[in-house]
A and B are shown apart, each in its own frame.
Chain A
Amino acid sequence: MNPDSSLSAQLTVALKLPPLSGLSPEHCGRCQAALPLFITDEMAGLMVDVLYPQTAVHLDICPNCAREYEELVFLTRSAFYDKDAL
């Protein structure tokens, strides 16, 4: 469909993964451990979906990890780009 079809391939993977109840806590542990680097590189403009596909897919399917991602992004942006903080 497109030379870069990695995201549709990731969607296929996400659809085939078991329900959240079937995933072990280690999946969340690995994802959350990877978040600082994932966010750091995403803010640097890197293609993190290609660099860290497992983290990207897990964030798509896990609301808890997505919430941690969102909060950490908010903290990071406030710390480094908020004019009031600088």
Chain B
Amino acid sequence: MAEQAQLDKTQITLLVAQYVHAQDWQLVDAAQLAEKIWQLSSNEVTKSAIETQIWQQYAAILHGICRQPNGAAYQRAWYELDSWLRRQWRVLPRQPQEQDEALQETLSALQIQLEKNSLKAPRAFLVYALQTLRRTVIDLERKKTAVSRGGDQEIASWEELHEDGPDQPAAPIQPEATVPGAFDRRVEHAVFEREVRAKLKIFFSRHLKSDQQVLVAELLFLDGLHPKEVGELLHKEPHQIRMIKSRIVQTLRSLPPVEQQELLTLLDRANGEEPDES
């Protein structure tokens, strides 16, 4: 996913044709899909961006056809889903002997869910199918070993796959102040920011476990970059940065209360809020 070369329309058409052929996806005309992806493409027309568009577009198409038992392509859609899941077997972290049983259970679970209702974000259908397969395998293994793993391995509820999620809209960007004295205040604010930033850097250096964690913490929490942007800077994938972020946060959460309060005070100041006295 690191290619940066920009693709033109001909290259996109060729890439789509090769990709759907390699996946043995026949529910869509490759040229039509390429045309649609070309129209949807903005300025970021790299190979990995197009590949992402292909599988997400195809997931939505497959989802739609798998929900139409009377449709002409219904059998083909389920066959493709079966074949595709079967190909993923080789990379599953756990590979019990009962491959057919696991696949059958996975397909049955998906079919039941699709009969009940549709996915609100069909582009996520294939990743949902992968998650269902992974959990089915874990459940089979658990049944075999009769070891309870708690209540956190239930199949995800279809209804909870929200398109929008429990999200808050981003705050609108405020226009810069132009009132008299604004320049002085900005200078004052910049000095204040620099001081808080320096203290946070020292805090991270003192408490995090490696130079890499310190660097990632600075980029995320001081510079306000997102994992995707940090990944681009450090030549890593977003999920790798997210896992480093997770370890950073867990380390900071495990600090003694006094240090945690020191960090919270610095963060409150950095965010321009009154320190939390709780």
A interface residue numbers (CB < 8 A to B): 1-9, 11-12, 14-17, 19, 25, 28-30, 32-37, 39-45, 47, 49-55, 59-61, 63-66, 69-82, 85-86
Contacts and interface: CB of A to CB of B under 8 A. Distances in A.
A70 B227 CA distance: 14
Main SS of the interface on chain A? helix
B128 interface: yes
Contacts of A16: 264, 276
Given A16-B264, A44-B52, A52-B165, 14 more contacts: A1-B222, A1-B272, A7-B220, A7-B221, A14-B252, A37-B162, A40-B124, A42-B227, A45-B52, A50-B170, A59-B242, A70-B239, A75-B130, A86-B19
A5 B156 contact: no
Contact of B23 (A9, A15, A49, A86): A86
Interface of B: 1, 19, 22-23, 44, 48-49, 51-53, 55-56, 59, 84, 87-88, 91-93, 121, 123-124, 126-128, 130-131, 134, 150-152, 154, 156-157, 160-168, 170, 173, 193, 196-197, 220-228, 237-239, 242-243, 245-246, 249-250, 252-253, 260, 263-264, 267-268, 270-272, 276
A60 B250 contact: yes
A36 B246 CA distance: 18
Contact of A8 (B19, B59, B222): B222
Nearest to B120: A37
B267 A12 contact: yes
Given A14-B249, A35-B156, A51-B165, A72 B224 contact: no
A36 B161 contact: yes
Contact of A34 (B59, B93, B160): B160
A4 B270 CA distance: 12
Contacts of B52: 43-45, 80
Contacts of B152: 25, 28-29, 32, 64-65
